[in-house]
Amino acid sequence: MVDKELARTVIGIMGNILSFCLFGSPIPTFAKILKSKSVGDFKPDPYLSTLMNCFLWDFYGLPMVHPETLLITINSIGLAMSALYITIFLIYAETKARVKVIGWIFIQLAFMVILVTCTLKFIHTNEHRSTIVGIICLIFNVLMYASPLTIMIEVIKTKSVKYMPFCLSLAIFFNGIMWVLYAVIDKLDLFILLRIFFFILQNGVGLLSGAIQLTLHACCYKVTLKDEDDDKPVKELQPSAADAKA
């Protein structure tokens, strides 16, 4: 009989690998930014959201809240990569956009300081801490995964998956499977499972989104091959991790 804890660990590691693929998906776009030395019409909003999301899930996975080593591992990677993306944006953005991004970063840091301080000072049990922090994580996770809906709508309208990378769609699909299994094996982690549940139903990603995207790829692949317009701005389908996992 397979040891449940071992199976959960293996699935968690595989989920982390897939989550890393999601966090790494914007690399080609930022390579173009570095090459052109301009951010063009690129928006940093998804990465600011990912930065905050990773901050929150890292805090959730700490021993004083809800100990989860794998949760901290992948979100720390996501945090570092998001910080790198935002740094590149700040280097090549115009002053107005740069000031706006820095302002949002300060707001996020202030929120995290308040949350961590209040949680550790006024809430004295791990159960209550994980409940409150978990709910906040769910809210921000829902916000982070809202943007892919617009990309899928555009794919349906244009019948072209040019701006929806196949590898990313595949990673989202399998990533959702892995983290659902991780949440239910051995011990039910309510907030990780609910996060994926909201991820599927409200944001169009995860298992449902991945399946829809793969279906769109199958239906629109031939049309996309005929599309020779390479001058349109690149549009990204941003995870997290994230789905990254928590």
Distance between CA 46 and CA 99 in Å, rounded? 17
Number of other residues whose CB lies within 10 A of the CB of residue 223: 13
Q: How far is CA 83 from the centre of its chain?
A: 13
- One-letter identity of residue 181: L
Q: Which pLDDT score is estimated for 228?
A: 43
Residue 80 has pLDDT above 80, yes or no: yes
Using only C-alpha atoms, the chain has a radius of gyration, in whole angstroms, of: 19
Q: Which pLDDT score is estimated for 67?
A: 87
Distance between CA 81 and CA 60 in Å, rounded? 19
Selected residue with higher pLDDT from 119 and 141: 119
Q: pLDDT band for 235, please (50, 70, 90 cuts).
A: very low
* Coil, strand or helix at 77: helix
Q: pLDDT band for 199, please (50, 70, 90 cuts).
A: very low
Distance between CA 76 and CA 199 in Å, rounded? 20
Q: Are 234 and 150 in contact (CB under 8 A)?
A: no
Sign of torsion over alpha carbons 12, 14, 20, 26: negative
Distance between CA 35 and CA 169 in Å, rounded? 26
Q: pLDDT band for 1, please (50, 70, 90 cuts).
A: very low
What does the DSSP 8-state code read for residue 146?
S
The stretch 196-218 carries a mean pLDDT of 59
Distance between CA 53 and CA 139 in Å, rounded? 9
The stretch 77-92 carries a mean pLDDT of 92
Instruction: Answer whether 0.75 is exceeded by the pTM.
Output: no
Q: Which pLDDT score is estimated for 76?
A: 92
Q: pLDDT band for 29, please (50, 70, 90 cuts).
A: confident
Q: Which pLDDT score is estimated for 106?
A: 96
